[in-house]
Each structure stands twice: as C-alpha cells, then as structure tokens.
Chain A
Amino acid sequence: MIQDSGMARHILWRLLGLIPTLLMLITVAFFLMRVAPGGPFDSEMLVPADIKANLNAKYHMDESLPQQYFRYLSQVAVFDFGPSIQYKDWTVNELIGQGMRVSLTIGLAAMVLAFFFGTFLGITAALRQNTRADYSLMGVAMLGISIPNFVIAPILMLLLAVYAGWLPAGGWDWSIASMVLPVVTLSLPVTAYIARLTRGSMIEVMHSNFIRSARAKGLPESLIIRRHALRPALLPVISFLGPATAGMISGSVIIERIFSIPGLGSYFVQGALNRDYTLVMGIVIFYGVLIILLNFLVDLIYAWLNPKVRYDERS
C-alpha cells in the first residue's frame, strides 16, 4: 500500500517535472529559430516590400519578439500549434498528427523487431561464447552497426523492389508491403546493437554467483536462463530502449527520405530549412514530450525488472 502511493507520487512528480523542462525547451527553440538568418518568406523569388508586410502581418511576425513569444506560449497552453507557414492548407496539429501516426508505426515496429531479434541473437551468441557461431553472429552485428542506413536501404530496394519486384520501391500507403523495407532497414543497426549489448551482459550474468548457486542446486540450464539469467541480463538493454525508441521515431529522417515516407523526421529538417517556425516548434515540443515520456516508461520497466530499484519512500 505504502509502496503504491509512493509510486503514484513518483509518477505525478515526474509528470509535473515535464512542465519546466518543456518551457525551457520551447524558449530555447523559439529564440534559436529566430536568431537563424533569414525568415520563412525569403526565397530567391523577389517579394515586394508591401507583400512581405502582408505576409508578416498574417503570421503576427510584425509584432515584437516578446509579444510573439507570449502569444505562442498562450497558444501552446491550449495545444494549438498554429498554422504551418510552409504547408498553408494544414495546421501544425494536423501535420504532426498525420506524421506521428506514420513515424510511431515505423518506429515502434522497428523497435519491437530489433528488441526480439537482438536479444535472441545476443543470448544465442552468449551461450555459445567464443565458438564459430558467436564470432559470425557478432561479426554480422558489427557490420550491421557500421554500414549506414543510406547504403543498406537503396541496396535492399534495388534487390527486392526493382529486380525482384516483391515490394514497392518507396512510397507509403499503409499496406504491410510498403512498411517492410523501411522497418527492416530502420531496425537493422539497432538489432545489431541490442545483440551485442545482450551478449555482453548475458555473459557477465552467467558468470555471477547466483547463477553458480542455481547450477549447484542442480537446476536445468534452460530454467536457469529463463528464470534467473534473463531478467538481469536485459537490464542494460532496457535502459538503452528509451533513447533508442525516441531516436527511431524521431531520427528516421534518412529512411523517410529514401523510402519517401510521410513521417515526422523530414518535417523537422524541412521545417528548419524553410524557417517554418510554427512547424519546427510544434515538432520540437512533440519530440520533447515523447523523449521525456519514453525515458519515464523505461524507468518504470527497469524498476519492475530490477528489485534493487524501488520508488518508495522508505528507500
């Protein structure tokens, strides 16, 4: 009971902690964007002064910077990120909502894939430590980490889409076929990383005292692995999951571009290049919230897996 209320308090506290963090994030991002030279209406095309004035007025950019800042804060307080300056037919909320569905789908699918394959391969290698299987698995994993996405993606696309014709060569229509290549490409380096991580910690755990005791007790090896070794061995993987998931959801810019996927990542980059202030701010805030929440979630899972960590008052 006491433990539960401690947990609830902890959750509440962490959620409240979001607000100052986000405020800081918004402030820094807002002013950084404005410091960058040029504005959303600068292009090689000549825009007469009168027309530029009209544009500035439309987006309240004729006001003073503090005025704009507080106007923006008051909008954000009610979750209104305003209209996109670049994509004039849509609001930032709509764009993020649409991009988020795509990015989350790909990111989470890739994460699940990477987690299961990675841990499986890692454990397999660990249990055959220093055998040929171990070396080849880890060799492949090393390759997976070192070959960048933008090399793998076009190769896979050429082989499976252009020559074999099994999968679409880029594009996105919510069909499973259009997801396969981006998800696999995105998950490859993370799978490899998780495999190496799992192998390392698994080997360490298998050499620890409690495993030796379990063995001494005469437990079968499979039971030792499932019941005793797996949970502690996964701890480093779990703490890696938070930032990795956030990275996968936000950092798939290259994958999005190569496969022409309408996710959030390219909005972020495009938005910054176009000085689409409202869009960039919206995405900064969205990513901020996402990363904080994911780290929080990982902490909770970590506590559940590791009895040494508990968020109760007594500790």
Chain B
Amino acid sequence: MKSGKYDSVNLLRQTVLPVFLILLLGACGDDYREKLSARGGHARPVELVLNEDGRPIPSVLAQQQELHRDNGQEPQTLDPHLAEGLPAAHILRDLFEGLTAESPDGRIIPGAAIRWNISRDGKTYTFYLRRDALWSNGDPVTADDFVYGLRRSADPVTASKYAQVLLPVENAPEVLSGDLPPSELGVTAMDEFTLQISMRDPTPYFLSLLSHSSTYPVHRASAEEHGSAFSRPGNLVSNGAYVLSEWVIRSRIELVKNKNYWDADNVILEKVNYYPFQDQSTALKRFRAGKLHWTSEVPNNQFKWLQKHYPDELVISPWLGSYYFGFNLEREPFIENLGLRMALMLALDRDLLTEKVTQFGELPSFALVPPGIRDYVSPVPEWAQWSQAERETEARRLYGMAGYSEENPLRFEIRYTAGENNKKMALAASSLWKQVLGVQATLLNEENKVFLQNREQRILTQVFQAGWISDYADAYSFLNLFRSGHGRNDFGYSNDLYDALLNEVAAERIPSIRRRLMFETERLLLADVPFVPLYTYVTRRMVNPRLVGWESNVMDHHYSKHMFFLNAAPDEATALNEADQVIDTVTSAANYLQENVVPGAGDEAVLIETNPGPDPTGDDSEAVTPLQEPDPDLQMEENEPEVQVEDLSPDGETEVVTTEEDSIE
C-alpha cells in the first residue's frame, strides 16, 4: 500500500482517537504504526483527576451540563422494537439499556445483565440481571421485562423490521412467520433476575446484538396501557440513563437524566437535546454559532476549509461499512467473464478516488470486510501490493484478452442513486475506466426506491453502486450478502463452495477456526470478483472540544451517559502532560494489537464467564451461585477451555448508506 494514503486522516491528529488508530494499525501493519508514532496522536479521552467515587473532580466540570446534538433526521419512532435507522438508534441508546451495553470505545460490557454464562455448545445463554436496576417510574427491571420485550419484538403483530436480529434465537423464525405463538420464543425467565436464551446456532456475535434496540426490554404495564402512543413523552417508561421529557416533532427531542437509573451518580450530562437538522450546512452554521455541540455529518465539499479553521472540532473516524460497485453476474457482459471483471477491478486507482473524490480520509479498500472488526483481518489480494501502473498494465492485458479494444470498446451502464458522493464516485470511476481501458460507461442516476428495485430484480443492472454498514461487528454480516439466494445478493453471485463455507462459519464456535473459515470465504469471494471494492466509510462530524468522555469507535455508537463538558478545552486542561499521553497512546495501541487484533494471539483460551465486573449490591453473587449448582452443564463449563465471547464489538443498524437520506437540494 502506498504511503500518503492515510495522510488526510493523520493530518487530523488532534481528532484521531486511540481506538481508531489501533484499528487502522490492526488492518495495515507496521508501516502505519511507525507513521502514527512519528506523528504523535492526541486522544480525546482526556486523563482527568478523579475523586474517590471515580468521578471527575467538580472543578474541571463545566457548570452547564446540557448537550445539544444534531441527529440528522427525525427518528421514525422511539418504540425500540419498531425503530430503524441511525437517528432513532442514537436516542434509544440513551433511553434504554439492553442486556449488554458498550463502553466508549465500543467493547461489549455488562448492561442490564451484570454477568452471563454461555453453555459449552454455545447455544444457551444465561444472564444474571442487576438487582438494583429500576425503570424510570421506580419499578424494578426484571427478567420478565426482557421476556416480554423479546417476545413483543418477535411478535408478528408488532411487525418489527429489525426482529430479524432475533433470528438466531430458538423458534424465532417460526414465531416471526406466525407458525408458533410468541410465547414459544426461546427466552425464559428462570427467576426474577435470571434470564435464559436458547439459540438455534452458536452465534458468536450474539452479545453484541443484545445492545441493539430490538432486544431492549419494554415496561409492560405502560406499553399495554398506551398502545402505539407508548413512546411519547409522559408515557414512555425507560430503563436507561435518560428519560424522554419533550418531543416537538421534527424540532427537538429532549431527554433528561433518569434519577432512577442504577448508575445515575455517574451520569454527568443533565440534559440531552437531539435536533433533526437535515441540512448539513445549517447544522454546521448552528455549530459555528455555538448552538450545537455535535453534528451528525459535515457538508461534503468543505473538508479543506474545516480542516484549516476547525482542526480541533472536526472528527473523522472509520466506520464499519464498505462502499463498492457491484456487477450483475446474470447479465452481459459480466456473465462468466472473470478476466473482464478483474480488469475493471484493477483499473481503478483507489488512492486517487479517496483522496480526490471522497476526500474525507476514507480508506482505500481491496476487500469486502472493512477493518475494525476484532479478531478478523481480511485477506489482501496479491494485486493490492502492486503499484497502480502494474495494475493498469495487467488490466489492459485482461481487457484485451476478453476481446475488447479501442475499436471495440466495452459498453455498460453504471447505476447509482441520490447522494453527492455516489454521483462523484460513478463519474470518477467511469472516467478512470475510460482513461485506462477505453471503456464507454454510461451513468444512470435513479431515485432510491427505483434503484433498489432494479438492483434486486437484476434485469436492467450491469454495474451498480452499493454499500453495506453492518449491524454488528462481525465479518459474517458482510460475507453473508453473497450467499446464493440472499435477499440482498443483488450480484446474482452463486457459488456452492462459498455457500458451504458460510454454513460452516455459522456453525463454528471456536474463534480461531471460525476466523480462518471466514478468511478463506472472503478470499474465495475476492477471487471471483463479483464486486469492485472501493473504500471504507468514515464518520465525520463536528464536536465541541469541551465535550469529552466519548471515543471514536467503528460502530459509531456513543452513549450520552459517558459524556460531559469540561470547563476548558482539553488542550488547555491537559497541555502539561500531553507528551506522556502520546506515549501512552502509542504503547497501549501496540499492546492492544498484540492482545486482540494480531491473529493467533491467545484466542484459544476460553472464558465462560464474561466480564463479571464488581457487583454493586454485594450479595448478588451469593444469591446466584446456588442457582448454578443444580445445573451440571454449567458446573462443567467453568473448567473448560473456552471461547472468547466478550470481545465482539457492538452492533449497529444494518443500514445502508449508499444514499444520503434525502436529496432535496
């Protein structure tokens, strides 16, 4: 890989966060580690002087702890089981707490469940709930609330789009199709604070799915009383760090601290306001006027200006999503024509595309699965090591072998949908193809739903723009897109060996074997070239430098409960020990790499109990122990070597970002 590739990212040194660096390093090797340490790095999670309770000392905290956060769009609903899309997910993370939660850097940590056991075969999860967790109206949060919530989520009457998150659970497909009643879902309350979930397959990423809103508990009494209006202010009873206090449609959603939250003492932001600013430049103006602390995006064309004038505010970090062009393998000229597809793949200069077209430090991509997934590194195709000139020579050779030439150029259509970047990418790719190979590509812009339909039908499409941002940090989410007959397999890709490998991945529970299987699966896919990888998405936003406590993470999940305002910008507050911090960052990045990212580093060890954490009530563990004894399985497991279950990063919305949310300009 070329140097300079990540310069635009690195230039943002003030805003680059350790996790981000680590992930980059994990994906890119020593080269970049050196580069980063040379440049130094200033991490936003500032080292603070903490008092005995683990809180920052009051003198560094700002008087006013009220966050104004741009959310990009109005959430479609605040019913956790009906919610879809990022805006709702951001708010729901503040309002509710699932069985698991996420740390600021995106690791899975205990949420409403204080610890859990996973059976030897990976198919039974037992969750021990916090005994001190309360709903915002003071009721205790019990296992029954989770059973009710999960059943409600899977119930066909609820008609939740995201109920598919529950598909790995025992009987879930039958419940969703209405063949079994919701009560048959494999979820049982063993006692008031113990919940058991049975799975159909070992699903190593299941813990990260449990921080997804479609698995949140719902307060039964209020849900049944208010029906579809239960998620309105005044009606909504929630168990998270915040409660909904006001909702002015498409103007503002105001959350205030939940006094009954079990960890309320450590929640510093008193109030969080979410605004649906659809227009990115309006949000930016409001940010510049000091009325917003956090924007959901920044305008596409202002990177250089922002970088110059707001270096401390502009935050860019990798996102767990890939952007690519797909081939329709069921239509000429791409049926069976591997050489031709390879030629098109090689001809595109990804460095150029990311530096000149997308411009926000997107990472050039040579594979399907984006970097940033723990325990997984994508295979690097051989040609990725070549120089661009070598790639182009090979591309021309393959192009000629496929029977095309200057006199007889290849012609096809590139379909794309609304969104500034989509258009620019299609334009740039077509002109590169023309320049390198002489290809005559026609651009076709289609309205989003028309575009999606055409892609799905695979009758009209030839080359189309596509992207995937994963629900959960697991490579399987990406690889599964190419399974024969998968609903989003718009490529018409079908390979029996590939499908067989995917099935093996789904059934495998030993991480090292599973990872090797996925690696092979992806390598097979890349060799077949059903798509042209282009780049990895980044999130880009403006954040007030006084707002700290959050970190960039690939899932882009940020809980308001972790954030707070400092009196002064962190630069001023920590100017003295900045040098130490840089060293810390780099050292810990290296350690982290060895422990977590580098393949083969100690992942064969198995921990059955994941991340128990201290029990706030003290007597909890004693209360739980007797429960375990009658169960010989559980007993046995504790001595077994094991599966590392805790390390899966959080989930997100399966949502797709090929289109900008709306296109009225």
Contact = CB atoms under 8 A, between A and B. Distances in A.
B74 A48 contact: no
B55 interface: no
A251 interface: no
A86 interface: yes
B228 A83 contact: yes
A189 to B, nearest CB: 18
B275 A171 contact: yes
A44 interface: yes
Contact of A169 (B167, B173, B289, B450): B289
User: Which one of A50, A55, A90, A168 has the greatest number of beta carbons of chain B within 10 Å?
Assistant: A50
Given A38-B452, A43-B452, A262-B251, A157 B228 contact: no
A24 interface: no
Interface stretch (B7-15, B156-164, B256-264, B516-524): B156-164
Contacts of A49: 487
A184 to B, nearest CB: 16
A45 B289 contact: no
Interface string B75-99: 0111100101000000000000000
Interface string A234-277: 00000000000000000001100111101000100110010100
A105 to B, nearest CB: 13
A35 to B, nearest CB: 12
Contacts of A99: 249-250
Contacts of B291: 168-169, 171
A37 interface: yes
Given A45-B84, A45-B654, A168-B291, A50 B449 contact: no
B251 A45 contact: no
A258 B167 CA distance: 41
B285 A161 contact: yes
A58 B656 contact: no
Given A154-B281, A157-B285, A171-B251, A260 B275 contact: yes
B664 interface: yes
Given A54-B176, A98-B249, A44 B656 contact: yes
Contact of B278 (A86, A162, A257): A257
Contacts of A161: 285, 289
B278 A54 contact: no
Given A54-B156, A88-B82, A157-B282, A37 B450 contact: yes
Contacts of B249: 87, 90, 94-95, 98-99, 262
A87 B657 CA distance: 20
A139 interface: no
Interface in A119-164: 150, 154, 157-158, 161-162
A259 B664 contact: no
B159 A170 contact: no
Contacts of B252: 171, 173
B244 to A, nearest CB: 11
B228 A257 contact: no
Interface in B134-170: 156-157, 159-161, 163-164, 167
B159 A55 contact: yes
A89 B231 contact: yes
Contacts of A258: 279, 282
A25 interface: no
A165 interface: yes
B232 interface: yes
Given A38-B449, A266-B664, A89 B229 contact: yes
A57 B665 CA distance: 35
B307 interface: no
Contacts of B76: 86-88
A305 interface: no
Interface string B464-497: 0001100000000000000000111000000000
A186 to B, nearest CB: 16
Nearest to A36: B449
Interface string B644-662: 0000000001111111001
Interface in A161-212: 161-162, 165, 168-173
Contact of B664 (A36, A37, A171, A254): A254
B288 interface: yes
Contacts, number: 163
Interface in B393-439: none
B331 interface: no
Given A44-B655, A44-B658, A46-B486, A55 B77 contact: no
A54 B163 CA distance: 11
A253 B662 CA distance: 13
Interface string A273-312: 1010000000000000000000000000000000000000
A258 B157 CA distance: 39
A87 B74 contact: yes
Contacts of B248: 173, 262
Contacts of B447: 273
Nearest to B288: A162
Nearest to B467: A44
Interface in B263-313: 275-279, 281-283, 285-286, 288-289, 291
Interface in B615-665: 653-659, 662-665
Interface in A28-50: 36-39, 41-50
Given A88-B79, A253-B664, A260 B159 contact: no
A77 interface: no
A304 B93 CA distance: 60
B177 A50 contact: yes
Contact of A42 (B164, B176, B449, B486): B449
Nearest to A259: B282
A42 B161 contact: no
Nearest to A170: B282
B453 interface: yes
Given A42-B449, A87-B77, A170-B282, A165 B159 contact: no
Contacts of A51: 159-161, 163-164, 176
B78 A89 contact: yes
A86 B177 CA distance: 23
A262 B249 CA distance: 7
B448 interface: yes
Interface string A95-107: 1001100000000
Given A89-B229, A169-B282, A171-B275, A47 B161 contact: yes
B487 A89 contact: no
A173 B228 CA distance: 26
Nearest to B247: A89
Interface of A: 36-39, 41-51, 53-55, 57-58, 83, 86-90, 94-95, 98-99, 150, 154, 157-158, 161-162, 165, 168-173, 253-254, 257-260, 262, 266, 269-270, 273, 275
Given A99-B249, A169-B285, 9 more contacts: A38-B448, A57-B159, A89-B77, A89-B232, A99-B250, A171-B277, A257-B664, A260-B282, A266-B664
17 contacts: A38-B448, A44-B655, A44-B656, A46-B164, A46-B487, A46-B654, A49-B487, A50-B173, A53-B177, A55-B159, A57-B156, A86-B76, A88-B76, A98-B249, A162-B285, A260-B279, A260-B283
8 smallest CB-CB distances across A and B, nearest first, come from: A38-B449, A44-B656, A262-B250, A88-B77, A50-B177, A169-B285, A170-B282, A58-B159
